[in-house]
Structure 1
Amino acid sequence: MSEPSALAVLAEKAGTRFILALFVDLTGKPCAKLVPVEAVEQLATEGVGFAGYAVGAIGQQPRDPDLMAMPDVASFTPIPFVKEGLALVHCDPHVEGEPWPYAPRVILKAAVARAAAAGYAPYAGAEVEYFLLRRDEHGRLVPADGDDTAAQPCYDARGVTRMYDHLVGISQAMNSLGWGNYANDHEDGNGQFEQNFEYADALTTADRVVTLRYLLNVMAAERGMIATFMPKPFADRTGSGLHLHLSLRDTATGASVFPAGGDADPVGLGLSKTAYSFVAGILEHACALQAVIAPTVNSYKRTGAVASSASGATWAPTLPTYGGNDRTHYVRIPDDQRIELRGGDGSANPYLAIAAAVGAGLDGIAHGRSLGEVGTGPDTPFPATLLHAVEAFEGDDVVTGVLDAVGPGVAEYFARLKKDEFFAYHAAVSAWEHDRYLTAI
């Protein structure tokens, strides 16, 4: 009798009865099959099949062979706080035995491998911002907490306390998984929250963002709420970002390459020349990067806000600039351990966002790019809409190259997908147009 697989051992130890074999498409939509533990060995060795075209944005047509979702045992995550006996495992889609080039997790793994070839291991932290909403008697979206009406609700102790059960439930879930939840707060918009966990290697953090979004969705729904990561659900309130904290370690020593240490610090913010070149690469490719880290029509209601939110600030960058501990910039450098990329939002696919950011930064290192004065950046127009961002993306060989790293055609497919999204939005007639034009002439 053969030895049980590592996945079977973990499932038995956790008391698992069913496993969600999960992956996301290019938009970040979570897709899964529920696999009984009795079939765990088949899952471990053969994966589980999906009709790829039915999945959504993952580069397949109805005629194509099945996607086989192959589990990554290291990502096995028991989630009994959702359903007793339930676990999930993140999977890498394969087609006919090969990693599928359109699979976001496969793309990030390729970016990590490219970084390793250059001697670096990318690490990431992520700030997952979201709104908790419900529909009122007229069908309008409103904060789930009816008393959340303050003009400046950020960090309000009363707002946190009113949402105590939800926040504690998520916090305890994260800590039971060993993520190290260290803060839970009310953010700047009415109904908006953030729950933080410790940073990790790039792939682990991306997996955790996907897992957390799933947990927030299902656990909020159990309490009659809608958890949304939509970048800008309300025109007059702060939008939801997905701020990424990025750093690199030396693969040989495990030490961070970001602190200046004994090296000269040409900018004065405590980072090494390598780290500054990494930042310069991100700024150089910022406009194209936005198509990946702010990938929806709604994203540009956040970064392109023409008026402040009710609280007085939008907290979203409007130019590709960098600065020190200053949250008005595209790249913030809060200390000598990391940088914070603030251009991304809640609609970003974490695998693609981290992969593209790392790819842009590595390009900066490879070309020895340097930064201008603090507070400056490239003299290029920041994308005003998704269409502008996609056009910048199409003209950027570095960022498109990240998406095409496992196979050609992915970047072109992604650009077409996003253009179709923009033109579908553009074709819709809105209430704003009725108000503006119906009796104007």
Structure 2
Amino acid sequence: MTSKFAGTEQLAAKQNIEELKKELKDKGVKYALGSYVDVHGITKSKMVPIDHLDSMMKGSELYTVYALEGMGGKGPQDDECQTIPDRDSLVILPWKRDVVWFASDLHYHGEPYPLCSRVILKKTMEEARKAGFEFMLGIEPEFYILREEDGKVKPYAPEDTLVMPGYDIRTTLHSMPFLDTMVEYMNELGWDVNSLVHEGGNGQYEFDFTFENAVTTADRLIFLRLMAGEVARQYGAFASFMPKPFVDNFGSGAHHNMSLYKVGTNQNLFYDENDPRGNNLSSIAYSFIAGLLRHAGSLAAISAPLVNSYKRLTPRGMMPQISWAPVYATYGRNNRTAMLRVPKNRPAVENRVPDISANFYLSSALHLAAGLEGIAEGLDPGDLVDFDLYNLSDEELKNLGVGILPRDLLEAVEAFDRDPLTEKVFGKEFKDEWVKLKKKEWAEHHFHVSEYEQKRYMKLF
């Protein structure tokens, strides 16, 4: 990260904790957060008075994390985990400047806790570096800003009622109090926002900012969800990170834009101007793509992790427009029907399946591992598919060798469970915990009798 907060350069790099504490106190900071995430990517922490920063940085704060679902099978007789804050992730909350936040790793008995999401990503990143690769990642967050009025949920801007408000200047301007505050804060944190856009949903927005190494990007996305929710509250609204909050409106993605750089350089190893296929992609990029396609089902499971996620991944649904969501396990240039896209304006691979509900440490780790496997085995993804796949029959798709992404969470979790790579990346305990948790979530949804079913079947016969 650059410029962690206004007026301070490289504060986090100071070796003396007492010096850091004094400078923070001089800036009005009263409390510190050593934040870790649960399996869902929700940020957790105790609030520590700044006078105890030195102890917190050494791991004084203990957490019974395995009391949370999906965080391990230890019992009430076991010791707690401790958080070890990452000093380089230091951020003063822009909306509450008396609090400083650190992304943290969980440790158990002095060792990294294997079920900690951030630890899992850092381990996979280290394996990539040993192979000479730095994993760079940019994520495009989409989410809704909504308000409650008379018991109904409505867009933040009351006028935001167009059938297709995407790119609409008027409703964007009406939403500028929230949007401008967010951009101001994000730039203060050094994220360098290059655009913001009203997406296709009423009250839906996207912010695009500079890519970084995957750990830093995941830290930012976790912090972004916290910040967006808190800023929305200041304007009498709330942020929704539900992938498909409305049956007749667009879903919220979090496209992963990935590239590999040569360690210690600015050399993007996905670029090759002499690509014989004419796509300016290297053999490393093609093999990375092939690795992602091999593990498409597992990647969907971990990066579109909710029952609701799969109501986004459909060609049309109950909307008057097509969904523009990926449905097919293939790759193309500008083909929004495909899982993967290789844009013409940047040497990167974009996976359009992930949504805004993901735990970004976990999704990043599995994407990287799948791509590295493709490189190690020299896999080839075949030719680009650059035509609309929505209107093809199952037989036509089969003849093209194009697979269909999981159609619900159960299909995705079963693919995840079968995939040997998931145990290699996450470990057996985490994998078993996660599969059990997600199958339970699917079952709870499946056993629920919806209003649709009652209206459709109650008096049908």
Could you tell me which residue of structure 2 aligns to residue 344 of structure 1?
Answer: 354
Check conservation: 1:393, 1:400, Cα contact below 8 A.
no
TM, length-normalised to structure 1:
0.93
SS in structure 1 of the partner of residue 48 of structure 2: strand
How far apart, CA to CA, are the structure 2 residues paired with 1:63 and 1:422? Answer: 31
Counterpart code for 2:420? D
Check conservation: 1:49, 1:69, Cα contact below 8 A.
yes
Check conservation: 2:38, 2:44, Cα contact below 8 A.
yes
SS in structure 2 of the partner of residue 42 of structure 1: helix
Match of residue 66, structure 2, among 53, 78, 89: 53
Matched, 1:65 2:58: no
The CA deviation string for residues 134-173 of structure 1, in whole angstroms up to 9 with x for no partner, is 2231x33222222111111001111111111100100000
SS in structure 2 of the partner of residue 307 of structure 1: coil
Query: Which segment is superposed worse, 117-126 or 265-274?
Result: 265-274
Check conservation: 1:52, 1:64, Cα contact below 8 A.
no
Matched, 1:99 2:122: no
Match of residue 234, structure 2, among 198, 222, 233: 222
Check conservation: 2:315, 2:322, Cα contact below 8 A.
no
Number of residue-to-residue matches in the alignment: 432
> Over the residues paired in the alignment, what is the CA RMSD in angstroms?
1.9
Matched, 1:374 2:384: yes
Check conservation: 1:285, 1:399, Cα contact below 8 A.
no
How far apart, CA to CA, are the structure 1 residues paired with 2:458 and 2:224? Answer: 44
Match of residue 383, structure 1, among 397, 406, 412: 406
Extract unaligned runs of 5+ from structure 1: none
Residue 49 to residue 378, structure 1, CA distance change in 2 (3 Å): farther
Residue 5 to residue 56, structure 1, CA distance change in 2 (3 Å): farther
Q: Deviation of residue 84 (structure 1)?
A: 2.8
Matched, 1:169 2:211: no
Check conservation: 2:21, 2:51, Cα contact below 8 A.
no
Residue 439 to residue 25, structure 1, CA distance change in 2 (3 Å): same
Which structure 2 residues correspond to residues 208-357 of structure 1 after superposition, within 5 A? 208-251=220-263, 253-262=265-274, 265-304=275-314, 306-307=316-317, 309-310=319-320, 312-335=321-344, 336-357=346-367
Check conservation: 1:320, 1:378, Cα contact below 8 A.
no
Q: Deviation of residue 65 (structure 1)?
A: 1.7
Could you tell me which residue of structure 1 aligns to residue 425 of structure 2?
Answer: 402
How far apart, CA to CA, are the structure 2 residues paired with 1:125 and 1:422? Answer: 30
How far apart, CA to CA, are the structure 2 residues paired with 1:9 and 1:372? Answer: 58
Q: Deviation of residue 340 (structure 1)?
A: 0.9
Extract unaligned runs of 5+ from structure 2: 1-14, 387-399
Residue 250 to residue 14, structure 1, CA distance change in 2 (3 Å): farther
Counterpart code for 2:415? A
- Which 4+ stretches in 1 moved above 6 angstroms? none
Could you tell me which residue of structure 1 aligns to residue 38 of structure 2?
Answer: 25
Identity %: 36
Q: Deviation of residue 53 (structure 1)?
A: 3.4
SS in structure 2 of the partner of residue 58 of structure 1: coil
Check conservation: 2:340, 2:351, Cα contact below 8 A.
yes
The CA deviation string for residues 32-63 of structure 1, in whole angstroms up to 9 with x for no partner, is 11111100010011241112134443224433
How far apart, CA to CA, are the structure 1 residues paired with 2:263 and 2:22? Answer: 30
